[in-house]
Amino acid sequence: MSDSLHVVCPQCDGINRIPQAKLGSGGKCGVCHTPLFPGKPLELNRARFQRHLAKSDLPLLVDFWASWCGPCKMMAPVFTEAAGQLEPKLRLVKINSEQEQMLSGELGIRSIPTLILFNKGAETARLSGAMDLQSLLDWVRQHIT
């Protein structure tokens, strides 16, 4: 196993190599110099999502949501708080299912909010419905090895 990880910048999508031992200290992008771990979910479109999925060694936890969805609105602050607790072990991402209907269809999103955990580019877990912070953290930790 390599002792460094590829991490895609949340700002410019540049690819950065970080030693695993220094992952906890954060770091800044070598291209745009912004923090690699902002402590909040990234709002991505299809192209940016695909880049993060393909080029980053970090697991991705993706929240598929829509602005008109009541449970999605309830889940938003929980997901944001989870980002602060789970980074840098994984990247939390939000995708607006209304704006990214093709991607939502390809991934079989049938209800929202839906959380999908990806590891090494493959889906490893999926859960639909809003949840509280502790339930979300427990679910993620159960599926991250």
Fold of 38-143: Glutaredoxin (3.40.30)
CB atoms within 10 A of CB 94: 23
pLDDT value of position 82? 97
Q: Where are the domains of the chain?
A: 38-143
Axis crossing angle, helix 70-86 with helix 133-143, rounded to the nearest 10: 60
Of the residues 9, 29, 32, 69, only one is catalytic, namely: 69
69 is catalytic: yes
pLDDT tens for each residue of 56-80: 999 999 999 999 999 999 999 999 9
Q: What is the pTM of this model?
A: 0.93
Closest CA to 117 of 76, 60, 65, 64: 60
Of the residues 12, 29, 32, 72, only one is catalytic, namely: 72
pLDDT tens for each residue of 13-49: 999 999 988 888 888 999 999 999 999 999 999 999 9
Q: What is the C-alpha separation between 133 and 109, in angstroms, rounded?
A: 22
pLDDT band per the 50, 70, 90 thresholds, residue 2: low
